Amino acid sequence: MEYNKLNGWTIVLLIISIGGIQAHISEDETTTVERSSKKNVYALIMIDVQYCFINGSLALSNGPAGQDGAEVIPVINELIDKVPFDVFAYSLDWHPANHISFFENLESRKDYVLGSDHEKYQMFDAVTYTGPGSETTQILWPAHCIQDTDEAKLHKDLIRLPAGDNVVYINKGRNPNIDSYSAFLDNDKIEKTPLDNELKARNVTHVFVTGLALDYCVGSTAIDASNFGYKTYVIEDACRGVDDIAIEAKLNQLEQNGVELINSHQVEQIINSLNSQQNVIDTCSSNKRYDITDENQDDININSCQ
């Protein structure tokens, strides 16, 4: 199965992706210091490294960009092995067979097609459904990542850590009537997945996003993460995408939303630098809270304490 007509609805992708929840908190100086002094907690988020996007019905290699989704696996595995992340989160596209995103289900949903002219739509077109839930614009993908099928499994070569205190698995796209590119929210920004609550329960402050596909689920996840208040990074060489034009547009959108674009070789250095800065902040806030004057202040970056 080959992708087509992708460039024509790049703008649809951008519209779907915009609109994450913004949190505006006004806080006094004490609150700021106390929040800043919390320990940084780093999460690696791995998006949809599943067979369906690697060698299945939506294999990226069949898309306009011709990228190989399997290439992210050794990069992600090295991050898992070598970088001191505190939390690991895996997401899976996990659709019921009657999912709204499947072209094969267009006929059964024809009564909800805006304009009622469902016969004109082809695979990879964007269609507006007026129900049965809320009105939503949906790209018509071939059936993919159907729950409990082999194609929906994470690739066997990906390091799959056992679920536990610091390892979370999120199944998204389970609602038959709305798609969910983001691992945080559905496409209409109405219903959350458990991911935000799981990360907040573990006090995560910084997230590093990887996986498939950059111009869809990875990008949407990263923007929502930033909007939910996490310092967010996308590791570009640990991602692959569908369409070159959509990839470039998504990268620009990520930067506009405060997401930092980095490469895998930078990650450990970034974490070490942040931890070093955190040590200074902890010392400063501790001194301020208890009115302690450090007799070795020459060793402290005083500007960081202001």
pLDDT digits (tens, 9 = 90+) for 80-100: 999 999 999 999 999 999 999
Give the end of a domain, one of 112, 140, 168.
140
**Confidence class of residue 2 from pLDDT cuts 50, 70 and 90?**
low
User: How much is the mean pLDDT over the chain?
Assistant: 85
**Percent of the chain predicted with pLDDT > 70:** 79
Q: Is residue 263 part of a domain?
A: yes
Residue 298 lies in a domain: no
Counting the structural domains of the chain, the total is 2
Task: Identify the pLDDT of residue 278.
Answer: 81
Q: Are residues 254 and 120 in the same domain?
A: no
Same domain, 262 and 202: yes
Do residues 154 and 169 touch, judged by C-beta distance below 8 A? no
**One domain for residues 161 and 254:** yes
| Residue that finishes a domain, picked among 140, 166, 194 | 140
- The last residue of one of the domains, among 111, 140, 169, is 140
| Alpha-carbon distances, residue 64 vs 126, 176, 251 (angstroms) | 17, 27, 17
DSSP class of residue 289 equals H
User: Does residue 181 surpass a pLDDT of 70?
Assistant: yes
Q: Which residue has the higher pLDDT, 131 or 304?
A: 131
Active-site residue set: 48, 172, 217
Min mean pLDDT across 183-192, 222-231, 293-302 is at 293-302
How much is the pLDDT for 115?
87
pLDDT for the residue numbered 280: 60
Residues 207 and 71 in one domain: yes
If phi > 0 it is left, if psi is from -120 to 50 it is alpha, else beta; for residue 148 that is: left
- For residues 120 and 91, state if they share a domain: no
CA atoms within 13 A on the CB side of 85: 26
Are 54 and 176 members of one domain? yes
Q: What is the pLDDT of residue 27?
A: 37
* pLDDT in the model for residue 174: 98
Which structural domain, as residue segments, surrounds residue 168? 42-97+148-273
Contact 269, 293 (CB under 8 A): no
Q: CA nearest 129: which of 113, 141, 105, 107?
A: 113
Looking at the DSSP assignment, which residues form a beta bridge with residue 91? 47, 170
Bridge partners (DSSP) listed for residue 207? 43, 232
**pLDDT at res. 38:** 80
Q: Are residues 59 and 166 in the same domain?
A: yes
**Average pLDDT score over residue span 61-77:** 98
Which CATH number is 66's domain given? 3.40.50.850
Which is more confidently placed, 52 or 298? 52
26 pLDDT exceeds 80? no
**pLDDT value at residue 72:** 98
Asked whether residue 188 is domain-assigned, the answer is yes
Residue 5 has pLDDT above 90, yes or no: no
What's the CA gap between 247 and 189, in Å, rounded? Answer: 22
What pLDDT was estimated at residue 130? 95
Does residue 79 sit in the same domain as residue 211?
yes
pLDDT band at 124 (very low <50, low <70, confident <90, very high): very high
Taking 90 as the threshold, does the pLDDT of residue 22 lie above it? no
Nearest one of 303, 232, 240, 305 to 270, comparing CA atoms: 232
What's the rounded mean pLDDT across residues 29-43? 60
Indicate the pTM of the whole model: 0.82
Whether pLDDT at 20 is above 90: no
Judged against a pLDDT cut of 90, whether residue 109 lies above it is answered with yes
> For the residues 110-122, what does the mean pLDDT come to?
90
